[in-house]
Amino acid sequence: MESLQEVMRIGNQPMVWALCAVTVVVSLVQSLLFTRLAKRTAREAQISPEITKTAFRVGLISAIGPAIGVFIVMVGLMATIGSPMAWLRLSIIGAAPTELTAATLAAEAAGSGLGKENFTLQVMAVTWFAMALNGCGWLLVSGLFAPYLEKLREKMGGGDTKWLAAIGGAASLGVFGYLCSNEIRRGTGNMLAALTGAVAMVFLVKCVVPKHPKLTEYALGIAMLFGMACAVIHDVVMM
């Protein structure tokens, strides 16, 4: 059986980097094309250039916060599924929790886990395949069922937006709570990271964000940093 180091060496081969770069470049080109199309449409709609520049700048700044959380998760994924694939997945999807969930569940379904010694090439292939399927699901649903989602939403919630928000929130709490519980059982450091991150997030949302709304997008990344810092301090002290 291959060692974890050997698996990571294979997962970081130059050929894998080259193959992943193709998709990342396509994503970059699409972004540039969408930007050009947006500017052209703004001119046709006779929207002031100042307004479009302001909107672009606001969107750019707002993306920094979520990007911090994505970057942190990407660093963790790089050490478990290989740098090229982590770069690829979070370049085209950008949903760090979803990608981490897919990789974690796939590894567990294959009888292993991210970072474990029995993480073989076969397990890594399963995680890659699971993340790819996860992305395909989004494309299929949005392409085939997007026109009908609004009707389904109204039928499920009966027109009550609060009830719909509660359903979505409960589903998210269930999924990520399950994943978090698995991490907590691994040790005190993991437990402290989860608790500190949760407390930091609640504090930021309840006390800081209302006074400084611009920090809304940064809250998740800041809370994650607090949690990781607490875990690192614990591990250093206990060494």
Kindly list the domain boundaries of the chain, sorted by start residue: 1-144, 158-238
- pLDDT, position 66: 63
Query: What is the reported pLDDT for 103?
Result: 84
Structure tokens at 225: 């940093």
Task: List, for residues 71-94, the tens digit of each pLDDT value.
Answer: 777 777 787 888 888 888 877 766
CA distances from 177 to 43, 98, 194 (A): 47, 13, 10
> Sign of torsion, CA 91 95 97 100?
negative
Local confidence band at 17 (pLDDT 50, 70, 90 cut-offs): very high
**Confidence at residue 33, expressed as pLDDT on a 0 to 100 scale:** 92
- Pairwise CA distance, residues 154 & 16, whole Å: 44
For residue 48, what pLDDT is reported? 84
Over 70: is that where the pLDDT of 35 sits? yes
Task: Report whether pLDDT(50) > 70.
Answer: yes
Look up tokens 């890659």; give the residue.
Answer: 128
Averaged over 26-36, what is the pLDDT?
Answer: 89
Is the pLDDT confidence value at 214 over 90?
Answer: no
Reply yes or no on whether the pLDDT at 18 is more than 80: yes
* pLDDT value, residue 87: 84
The label of the residue with tokens 């009888």 reads 111
Q: Report if pTM > 0.85.
A: no
Least confident of 23-32, 203-212, 214-223: 214-223
Burial 28-54 (b: 16+ CB within 10 A, else e): eeeeeeeeeeeeeebeeeeeeeeebee
DSSP 59-114: HHHHHHHHHHHHHHHHHHHHHHH-HHHHHHHHHHT--HHHHHHHHHHHHHHTT--T
pLDDT at 75: 79
Residues 6+ apart with CB under 8 A from 234: 188, 189, 192
Instruction: Name residue 24's amino acid.
Output: V
In the chain, what percentage of residues exceed pLDDT 90?
5
Q: pLDDT for 178-200, tens place per residue?
A: 878 877 887 888 888 889 988 99
Q: CA 82 to CA 98: how far, in whole Å?
A: 17
Per the model's pLDDT, the better-predicted residue between 107 and 138 turns out to be: 107
Better pLDDT: 214 or 20: 20
Structure tokens at 176: 């990520």
- If one counts every other C-beta atom within 10 angstroms of the C-beta of residue 128, the result is 20
| Mean pLDDT, residues 210-227 | 78
